[in-house]
Chains A and B, each alone.
Chain A
Amino acid sequence: MRRVIVAVSIAASVALLAYTTTVAGALGYLGLETRTLARMFLALTYNPDLRELTAMSPEAVTAIVWDFRGVDTLYETVVFYMAIIAALAIYRGVSRVSGGGGVGLSLIVRVVTKLLIPMNIAIAVSIAVHGHLTPGGGFQAGATLAVISVLLAVVYSVNSFSRVGVDISKAVALRSAGLIAIAIVVFTPLIYSALTGAQAYLMQSYVKVDSGFYFPVDVFGQLISGTLIWLNTAEFLAVSFGFFIVFMLLSLREEIVKQSLLGEGRGS
């Protein structure tokens, strides 16, 4: 009863506050205007007339994520990297995923999942490589692909990871490949600068006022938006296999983890 009274009073006070604010017009024209900064981003996201300023990507969100505010995203990739390193450090010495019996769910579920997994991979790759054209990008595609690891663990049991040939060390290698690809794209302008002596900036994508370095905007008439497609694809690899590692660690058998933990305690 007390909980109901608390819930009702919170809801009533929120509604009353909203009503008074509306009647008084205290918030002005909510949701009717675009900020100047937003107008600038929108005007520059795909603008071939202003080659020194534009990101050449019709998708404004991806343009901001990897071009206008690219260094932010780079730091964020580092945060994600550190979180997975921390998870791996907690589980150091526990790498065996298989062991024990376990056949998974019923035949119907397993067959349907078998049909779903190729579609999932196709959708994830499509989201990643079209990230600069349509809503989507590396993070979303990575999260989409990571669903497969949960499906495998739940539907086919934990043993299926070794059956399909994915283990933690392979996932770590693929994730590192993605991160190295991001680093290569980020540092290419600096390497170019060191080799030719010309001016170039970190994460530079196109021609700037004082720098002639640029990544190709299109390939055979297809828009690839300079660095955006490469960074999206690399981030796709890094994020999806990062999640693979995490879900594989979370689905480890309790006995194996306990054994490793206790063994470590005795050693110290």
Chain B
Amino acid sequence: MALNTLERFLLTLTLYNLLATAAISIYGIVVRPSLTKKIISLTILGDALNVLAIFIGFRVFSIPPVLIPGVELELFVGLAVDPLPQALVLTAIVIGLAVTLFLVFLALQIYRLYGTLDTRRIRELRG
């Protein structure tokens, strides 16, 4: 039940990749002037953090957290992955989707009314 160095390196690399993706998407949200690109960055941030949560609950030698008839309860408890991050991510995905949809509607409305999605130009609008 031990991992060799390459396997441990790949697991660690996945973790840092997710963190780097989250950092880059925060850069996109803050720096990019286009509202569309801000929304895209926000969804990438949400997805990166969701995968990070799943990764925290992940185990290397494991089975899904679904009890199949014939599997002993003790074996199941010893082998299955952590179901709590999966449940939290499930709700986080739906909330993220709801927020994204709302932002998309707002951006669409801004475009219809002002003809631009550039925050630098939206800021200068009056009335």
Contacts and interface: CB of A to CB of B under 8 A. Distances in A.
Interface of A: 10, 14-15, 17-19, 21-23, 27, 30-35, 37-39, 41-43, 45-47, 58-61, 63-65, 69, 72-73, 76, 79-80, 82-84, 86-87, 90-91, 134-135, 137, 139-140, 239, 246, 249-250, 254, 257-258, 261
A64 B98 contact: no
Interface string B76-106: 1110111110110011011100110110111
Interface of B: 1, 3, 5, 8-9, 11-13, 15-17, 20, 24, 57-61, 64-69, 73, 76-78, 80-84, 86-87, 90-91, 93-95, 98-99, 101-102, 104-106, 108-109, 112-113
Contact of B12 (A21, A43, A87): A21
Contact residues of B: prevailing secondary structure: helix
A86 B12 CA distance: 41
Contacts of A137: 90
Contacts of B95: 76, 79-80
Contacts of B9: 18-19, 22
A32 B60 contact: yes
A45 B94 CA distance: 23
Contact residues of A: prevailing secondary structure: helix
Given A38-B83, A246-B101, A47 B66 contact: no
Contacts of B13: 14-15, 18
Contacts of B66: 58-60, 134-135
Contacts, number: 139
Contact of B58 (A31, A37, A45, A254): A31
Given A10-B20, A42-B80, 7 more contacts: A18-B12, A19-B12, A32-B59, A34-B80, A60-B66, A73-B91, A84-B98
Contacts of B106: 90
A43 B16 contact: no
Contact of B94 (A46, A61, A239): A239
Nearest to B67: A58
Contacts of A23: 5
A258 B60 CA distance: 54
Given A38-B84, A83-B101, A257-B112, A139 B90 contact: yes
B48 to A, nearest CB: 13
Given A42-B80, A47-B73, A60 B91 contact: no
A17 to B, nearest CB: 5
Contacts of B5: 22-23
A34 B105 contact: no
14 contacts: A21-B12, A30-B12, A31-B11, A35-B82, A42-B83, A47-B73, A60-B65, A60-B67, A79-B95, A82-B98, A86-B102, A91-B105, A139-B90, A257-B112
A73 B77 CA distance: 24
Contacts of A30: 8, 11-12, 15
A64 B83 contact: yes
Contact of B60 (A27, A31, A43, A79): A31
A31 B1 CA distance: 11
